[in-house]
Amino acid sequence: MIKRTHYVPGDWNAICDVCGFKFKASQLMKRWDGLMVCREDFETRHPQDFMRPIKENIAVPWTRPRPEGDTITDEVVTAADLFPPTFNSETL
Ligand SMILES: [Zn+2]
């Protein structure tokens, strides 16, 4: 039978933060997210976490104000404005 507990001078028992199994503290490693994990649960941080995307400049290079007397407005025109109802259910 395998002896499940043993004494190591200067070492202590610790639980892996991921799998929950018991190890000696010297067998656990600190992972990038701060968890103390066993060898099987150790992983490095994904390289995409360090990507710095190039910022996009969405502003137009130049603009002009609207000319005087411009008939274009910011009002929203709906179909009901263009074609008002000429009858309703009471007139039928
Ligand atoms: Zn583990």
Q: Which of 54, 52, 28 is nearest to 39 (CA)?
A: 28
Q: How far is the CA of 2 from the centre of ligand 1 (A)?
A: 20
What is the residue extent of each domain of the chain? 1-42
Q: Which two tokens stand for residue 67?
A: 């000319």
The angle subtended at Cα 45 by Cα 27 and Cα 40, nearest 5°, is: 30
Structural tokens at position 57: 């400049």
Position 86 scores a pLDDT of 75
Kindly report the pTM of this predicted structure.
0.54
Distance 55 CA to ligand 1 centre (A): 39
15 Cα–ligand 1 center, Å: 8
The token duo for 48 is 């995409």
The pLDDT value recorded for residue 62 is 92
Q: Hey, how many other C-beta atoms are within 10 angstroms of the C-beta on 16?
A: 20
Give tens-digit pLDDT for 77-88: 888 888 877 776
List, for residues 24-71, the tens digit of each pLDDT value.
Answer: 999 999 999 999 999 999 999 999 999 999 999 999 999 988 888 878
